Amino acid sequence: MSPLPRVDILGVRISAINPEQAVAEIEGWIGRRERHYVNVCNVHTIMECQQDPRLTRVVNNSGLSTPDGMPLVWLSRLHGFRNAARVYGPDLMLALCERSETNGHRHFFYGGAPGIAERLADQLQRRFPRLQIAGIHAPPFRKVGAIEERPVLDAIDAARPDIVWVGLGTPKQDHWVADHRPLLEAPVIIAIGAAFDFHAGVLRQAPRWMQRSGLEWSFRLAQEPRRLAYRYLVLNPLFVLNAFLQATKLRRFESDTTR
């Protein structure tokens, strides 16, 4: 686990960091060949953890659990971490790909709907011509917690990636990176979420002003109302209520780090 500070949000220990710290930490792991996984977390992640104690343990035992959501940043700052800033998953991917043009780090993309990983790799290769893409794999649908077949894991290892990006959606991707961490040689495995669809050109990103002001949820809800209505119209208000209860000490949320 990274020595970088964490803040307890409803029992989930979120790394109180900024993008520069995240990139430096990940590159340090690669340089030292340390093996870690990263969860890119938002309000949805926190609320999924309330229903799934094992997911809480997964996030709390990660190398980093980055604050990909302005409410998590605001709460981190309220706890005294003034340098905390949003570590937005799509931007983290771009930052590490850009730096890899110089340092030669290799990337593997696992996940996405059929054809998405190919489009993602193509778009990133166009943007970063010297980027080394080790491989891609779009798995068939599986239940949360399913372990990938050994030949696929062997193929990932044979490709020698430094970073394996996993885009399966929360919470499936978060369980995947933790469950497969002992099974893969790559130093870093990152559960990255919608970055696959954004950079493949399937989904539009919210304008920066909406991202900075915490209104990105409304933009995404307008794009995918059926899929995201429960997340944003039910889980978000519940998060606000629970954050209030935690801040006023009317309710205690357990922070479990045992595996």
User: Is residue 60 included in any domain, yes or no?
Assistant: yes
* Residue 183 resides in a domain: yes
Whether residue 214 is contained in a domain is answered as no
Question: What Cα–Cα distance (Å) separates residue 93 from each residue in 48, 66, 164, 192?
Answer: 23, 13, 11, 8
Domain that holds residue 113: 6-200
Q: How far apart are CA 29 and CA 34, in angstroms?
A: 5
**Any domain includes 253:** no
Q: Which phi and psi (to 5°) does residue 30 adopt?
A: -65, -45
251/3 Cα distance (integer angstroms): 28
- 34, part of any domain: yes
Query: Count of domains in the chain?
Result: 1
Can you give the pLDDT of all 259 residues of the chain as single tens digits? 678 999 999 999 999 999 999 999 999 999 999 999 999 999 999 999 999 999 999 999 999 999 999 999 999 999 999 999 999 999 999 999 999 999 999 999 999 989 999 999 999 999 999 999 999 999 988 888 889 999 999 999 999 999 999 999 999 999 999 999 999 999 999 999 899 999 999 999 999 999 999 999 999 999 999 999 999 999 999 999 999 999 999 999 987 665 5
In a domain, 240, yes or no: no
pTM, two decimal places: 0.94
Q: CA 31, 35, 40: angle at the middle one, nearest 5? A: 100
In a domain, 23, yes or no: yes
